[in-house]
């Protein structure tokens, strides 16, 4: 296994998995904030939510501009999750095989 394959396997794959986790955490936290179950006045909760927001805003913003909210629900996380799963399942293995 050469260096580029190692980078793809050991860094890109787990980074995509971390991104999936952050999207799920962002969606769940936004629901909890929206329903008033957690309060952003709590400094720890606000810091976690703002940190996740800062990471995901550059990724989600282009999709949020293209996909309008339907019934008040933002469907862009679903599209981003599908693209990430496609990248992990098809693009990443293809890149690893092409490099090797």
Average pLDDT of the chain? 92
Residue 99: its pLDDT value, please? 81
Q: Which residue has the tokens 């693209």?
A: 83
pLDDT at 32 over 80: yes
Which residues constitute the domain of residue 70?
Answer: 3-99
Residue 1: its pLDDT value, please? 72
**How many structural domains are present in the chain?**
1
SS3 of 21-80? HHHHHHHHHHHHHHCCCCCCCCHHHHHHHHHHHHHHHHHHHHHHHHCCCECCECCHHHHH
C-alpha 91/C-alpha 71 separation (Å) is: 33
Once rounded to an integer, what is the mean pLDDT over residues 25-51? Answer: 94
Model confidence band, residue 7 (pLDDT cutoffs 50, 70, 90): confident
Q: Which residues contact 7 (CB under 8 A, 6 or more apart)?
A: none
């Amino acid at each position: 296994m050469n260096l580029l394959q190692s980078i793809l396997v050991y860094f890109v794959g787990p980074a995509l998995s971390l991104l999936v986790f952050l999207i799920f955490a962002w969606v769940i936290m936004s629901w909890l904030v929206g329903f008033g179950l957690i309060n952003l006045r709590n400094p720890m909760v606000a810091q976690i939510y703002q940190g996740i927001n800062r990471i995901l805003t550059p990724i989600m913003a282009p999709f949020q501009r293209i996909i309008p909210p339907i019934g008040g629900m933002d469907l862009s996380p679903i599209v981003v999750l599908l693209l990430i799963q496609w990248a992990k399942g098809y693009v990443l293995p293809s890149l690893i095989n092409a490099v090797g």
